Structure 1
Amino acid sequence: MDTSAALRIGQPRAVSGQMDADDPASFNHCFAEVNGIRMHYIDEGEGPLVILLHGFPYLWYMWRRQIGALAAAGFRVVVPDQRGFGQSDRPDAIEAYDMSQSVGDMVGLMKALGETSAVIVGHDLGAWVAQAAAMLRPDLFRGLVMLNTPVPPRGKVKPTIGLREMAKGRVYHHLYFQQIGKPDREFASDPRKTLRSVFYSVSGSAVGAERWRLFVEAGEPILNAFTEPKEFPTWLSARAIDYYVDEYTRTGFTSAINYYRCRDRNWEITSFLDGAVVRQPSLFIGGAADPSLEPVEIRSVYDGLDTYLPGLQKKVLLPGVGHAAAEESADQVNALLLEFLEQFTR
């Protein structure tokens, strides 16, 4: 599917009511030069700015059912493909994906938009970026929402050391992704099977042995941890899967995986954040059936969120929902976002 014809440099627009959420061409696609890269983003609605950041292996498109709802409620909704994803630039260097660059992208995007404040919302690795942006630039980011991934404060040791302790001789995906080339090739060998398997196994729809196995054995391919379903649940249409597959077939997975290869680098360059917290109003939305919350080390981060986020107003685990809450339970996520965002309209 060629979506390039639908893309244009544009301005925010009022919601027409004709938006087909699964059709990428029904959205207002824009580009901006920010922080040395060309960034692709969706820009819909008018009002206080809300920035939505996707995770891996997703794209701007994972927020397609939030965009219209938030824009119709009176918000300007901007949804980028983060650097390395989709139609945004993909720098070659691994260090181009460290947190200083990702936060710099958000600051540059706001400047390009002509905006001076925003609520920032992040899912999965997008939550890492959102949390760092809120911590580093509270003057710009006046509210924070994290979906599915409770981001901890800077730890006492490098992340890979802590993750190896958690894995107990096995291999967690963040550790697997430290390898150069191998995981990239495995994910790209059959993008359709890869994405169908990952999207399904991390969701609340997977049961028993279908569920994402968080740890693989040493030497075991990472994709063994996921199961491709015969049929996909209704929350992700064939058209939606096609869009994801087409984009990752075109781009590959290397640049996206490079975010994980910067885990230790991010720790090394942020010693000045020891003890720092996010004091702005914040919200956490997760899934009660999210496999990623099962390790006690990660669950303890969720349990202690109010310590790391003094402005935390609510944390919610949606029953039956897995690691892609915005995809799996769009209406519930929309309601929670709108409830939280209402305070920023006063």
Structure 2
Amino acid sequence: MPLLRTFCLAGLLAAGAAPAFAATEGPSYGPELQGFQYPYPVQHFRFQSQGKSLHMGYMDIPASGTANGRSVVLLHGKNFCGATWEGSIKALSDAGYRVIAPDQIGFCTSSKPDSYQYSFQQLAINTHQLLEKLGIQKVTLLGHSTGGMLATRYALLYPEQTEQLALVNPIGLEDWKALGVPYRSVDQWYERELQVSADGIRSYERDTYYAGHWKPEYERWVQMLAGMNKGPGHTQVAWNSALIYDMIFTQPVYYEFKDLQVPTLLLIGTSDTTAIGKDLAPPAVKAKIGHYAVLGKQVAKLIPRATLVEFPGLGHAPQMEEPAQFHKALLQGLDHL
């Protein structure tokens, strides 16, 4: 994190301000989620990128059912980690798939460099290098939320290595800045991310991810994020988060959906209202963005080989909200693509 921001934060503390990360409720985790239990063993892929020595945490789970010889790579969303794929990992492994679930650079168990030129191309290259190291030649990509933007970019960069593409409520189905959402600078994102709290995360996830509903099992994922954001590396976590939000807002994949060459399964919870920067948008703009019941159908027409599966009434994370319904549709969809 830049030195200037360290001094600014120190000034706040000296002035007696009480930033959100000082809250004592719930667990506290390290900047690479040290202390949080993943559902499967985490390994680390060490590599060089942009002159830095970095590592990506990842889980590599073999087929527990009769192996079908296929590999699925799970690409998590912005406020998610490889661990949040727990239910999908089991469903896919039971169905015979080898499952790779990485944490991208800047997220969860992976490196959070002080400076990094984030791009979806760079994250795709990092992921491709991991798969090369694991000896995996062809994959099915399953991307959720921001991971859907990354999966799209990966399939565009590596069409020969991508067998299938499955996108779960991907963001980037519209270009928010072109639609009039104001730009928020990296510094503004950083200040916003310093204020992240468990209460704020819970409220947002209930309304957006789960269509206003809440189950006790969701709380683990709230504490995962909140614990990392108030832990000893909170400024490092917030700075990388700010850089990543800027990447999401300024690097749309929307205009390239038409160029996808691979069979693509769109899995859409229709009650999702996610739109980056929506809180800054004027009322007229806010009213017309984030309507997944419309966006799913529109993008299915843009992608040449798309199959749309809708989950009426479900939100941004159907794989977590109604896992049995979701995984049945996913496995059927992958078999028929």
TM-score, normalised with respect to structure 1: 0.71
Q: 1:190 offset after TM fit, Å?
A: 4.2
1:29 partner letter: V
Q: 1:75 offset after TM fit, Å?
A: 0.6
CA distance in 1 between counterparts of 2:243 and 2:215 reads 31
Residue aligned with 2:160, SS: coil
CA distance in 2 between counterparts of 1:194 and 1:80 reads 26
Number of residue equivalences = 282
Alignment of 1:130-169 (within 5 A): 130-149=151-170, 151-152=172-173, 159=175, 161-164=177-180, 167=181
Contact 2:267–2:308 (CA under 8 A) maintained in structure 1: yes
1:281 partner letter: P
Contact 1:3–1:25 (CA under 8 A) maintained in structure 2: no
Match of residue 302 from structure 2: 308
Match of residue 67 from structure 1: 89
Match of residue 60 from structure 2: 43
Percent identity, aligned pairs only, is: 22
Match of residue 29 from structure 1: 42
CA distance in 2 between counterparts of 1:184 and 1:284 reads 32
Residue aligned with 1:291, SS: coil
Q: 1:69 to 1:2 in 2, by over 3 A?
A: farther
After superposition, the CA RMSD in angstroms is: 3.1
The partner residue of 1:198 within 197, 204, 210 is 204
Residue aligned with 1:253, SS: helix
Give the gaps of 5 or more residues in structure 2: 1-26, 64-68, 276-286
Q: Using the TM superposition, name which of 29-38 and 122-131 deviates more.
A: 29-38
Q: 1:6-43, CA deviations, whole angstroms, 9 ceiling, x for partnerless residues?
A: x9xxxxxxxxxxxxxxx834412111124532000111
Residue aligned with 1:62, SS: helix
1:135 partner letter: L
Contact 1:150–1:305 (CA under 8 A) maintained in structure 2: no
CA distance in 1 between counterparts of 2:164 and 2:216 reads 28
Contact 2:146–2:248 (CA under 8 A) maintained in structure 1: no
CA distance in 1 between counterparts of 2:173 and 2:270 reads 19
2:222 partner letter: I
Match of residue 180 from structure 1: 186
Q: 1:65-113, CA deviations, whole angstroms, 9 ceiling, x for partnerless residues?
A: 1111111111111111111111111223352x11221111121111121
Contact 1:44–1:78 (CA under 8 A) maintained in structure 2: yes
Contact 2:164–2:263 (CA under 8 A) maintained in structure 1: yes
Alignment of 1:1-346 (within 5 A): 24-34=37-47, 36=49, 37-46=54-63, 47-93=69-115, 95=117, 97-149=118-170, 151-152=172-173, 159=175, 161-164=177-180, 167=181, 171=182, 175=183, 178-206=184-212, 233-234=214-215, 236-250=217-231, 251=234, 252-263=237-248, 266=251, 277-292=259-274, 295=288, 301-312=295-306, 314-342=307-335
TM-score, normalised with respect to structure 2: 0.73
CA distance in 1 between counterparts of 2:317 and 2:302 reads 23
Match of residue 66 from structure 2: none
CA distance in 2 between counterparts of 1:147 and 1:80 reads 17
Q: 1:77 to 1:249 in 2, by over 3 A?
A: farther
Give the gaps of 5 or more residues in structure 1: 8-22, 154-158, 207-231
